[in-house]
Structure 1
Amino acid sequence: MNNQSIEFIMAGRRQRRRRWILVTSLLAALACLLCCAMLLLGSTIYPVSDVIRALTGEHLKGVSFAVNTIRLPRMLAGLFAGFAFGLAGYTFQTMLRNPLANPNVIGITSGSSAAAVFCIIILHASGAIVSIASVIAGLATVLLIYILSKGKTFSVGRLILIGIGIQAMLDAVISYLLLVSAQQDIPAALRWLTGSLNGSGMQELPPLIITVIVLAPIVIVLGQHLSILELGEQSASSLGVDTNKTRVLLILSSVCMIAMATATTGPIAFVSFLSGPIAKRLAGAGFSGVIPAGLVGVNLVLASDLIGQFAFEYRFPVGIITGLLGAPYLIFLLIRMNRRGEL
């Protein structure tokens, strides 16, 4: 390879790096703007100075309660849950080399949801118990899907089909729990199942925040190997990647984050499904899309929540808005994959 070819390759790499940095910076800036909007906007729009004073501990009548008790927890829940959904969705889609292989479609979210609904309706539990049950159920669902799809050789298509079947079964369990539950418990369970930031409290957020802070760096660091894993088992091993260890750590970290996010906000529809494709389209190839996907997840959740609060006559939970965005893309993706013979 001559010097001209090397320089051409390096120039392309520099261009891709500049694009990745620009896109990531813009996504981060948009996320910051949306966080500010979540704190400023509501039934009453407060000045920036009053919001800052309330956040720094100064007591202002009306402002302190609205900002610190209602808007700040809502914003933090959307921020950390959106980042968790985005990271986990991108990880599964890239690692399994299929855009349908995300926690929403293959049943992982439904496993966490079924456990959480059981705790809420049957055990009348909340907080840490719901979070722990969601994580355990999410891991158990992953293990069950993997065992059933393994066979003689591992097949992504088989895993997706089995995951869809498991999801249908778990959705039936959730429906049964709603049927046998007490009348007064149904509204709370339905609001939670829709995926909502309503009613988020600071006391519920520490498990989610700690989980994301601890596990997100693991996914970001190991996410650099995702593009190598896409090349296949033998190619990745020959390039020095411990494929088994990398997959296990990525799966465990992603499932724990998405289960904890689901326990906190409910299964916000299609965020994990949309974040990866949008991040790849914006950031381009050549560099890890883990961080852009997480930021896309944050922007989707926060923007959808603001739309649900202020764009219509009635206020809608964030899950309804993300569902309206994600459902047409899912149909488009299924049609495109069918034409390519990938289904």
Structure 2
Amino acid sequence: MTTLDRYTAYADRIEAVSPTYAAWARSLDDVLVGLLDEVPESQRQPELVFAVARRLGADPTDPGALRALGLEARPALVAALTSATVQANDPRRLGPVVPLFAALAVRVDRPLGLVDAGAAAGLCSIPDRVTLDYRVGTDTARMHTAPSEPSVRLVTEASGAVPAPTPTPIRIAARVTLDPNPIDLAAPHAFDRLVEAVPPEATDRTALMREAARAALAVPPVRIRGTLPGDLDRALDALPDGVEPVVLTTGTLVYVPGADRQRFVDRVRDRGVHWIALERTGILTGVAATLPEAVDPADPDAFATASLDGTAMAVSDPFGVRVRWLRDPNL
């Protein structure tokens, strides 16, 4: 897929949610495509590019602002994109993830030790602090209840082989976040930095992120500055004895080059630790091999694949708000 094709597809996907970001994506011309081709492929993601553009002063309500920035401040934009690590870790992605943690909690007899790889500020590091309802047709099922406040409440549309709620609570005894540029939510203006990656129209999403930030602040992790796969061992070794290690990636591995991506998968396997992921459908060869043939990666509702220990369990839209379960993780 070319850079232009990627942005055209993104515009079609985001139009209903953010007309301003769709307009920016459609404003790509030969100059902007050439500019983006100067940075690593993993740094050309629309959300990343738009967040950096806003940080450099581009007004997202102006459809021509991205093109103008590319013309007027090309060296600064290329330099900022090359080193940028903006990633909001939308807490809605926990909708397909929480049932996987719940299924894992049933299997093990000790609390979990969580390594959130690519955590940004750790808004997805709190699966135990989510009260999750699944809307299945006209019915609503409570999948998980957060035992402590502050917490986040999510409502997710679900279909397919929807797992039954499990009585076993999700117990997380230790949290480690790994990120090239980890964000300390307690620092001044940290939350403002996070929402640079959020379309300006998405005020409800920003409010939910604020709830998740409060919950994350209540259970602060050990923050490690590092990248995948090279620093995975360091993050796992930071977990205390007596916990069941589990690595979480949510929209992280698309930023990791292909060869390093496979090295990460191999290292998780070599360490013998659990791995829960919500990643773009098709970018993980092993996970993709476990998908039914009927799953079309071009389907917006199969944009991401939720997997447990390398086996695809569900597919969802990019934000995890519509989930189609392929397998019951409790079986």
- TM range, normalised to the smaller chain? under 0.3
TM-score normalized by the length of structure 2? 0.28
Structure with more of its chain in helix, by fraction: 1
TM-score (norm 1): 0.27
| Structure with max Cα Rg | 1
Compare relative contact order (CA 8 Å, sep 6+) and give the higher one, 1 or 2. 1
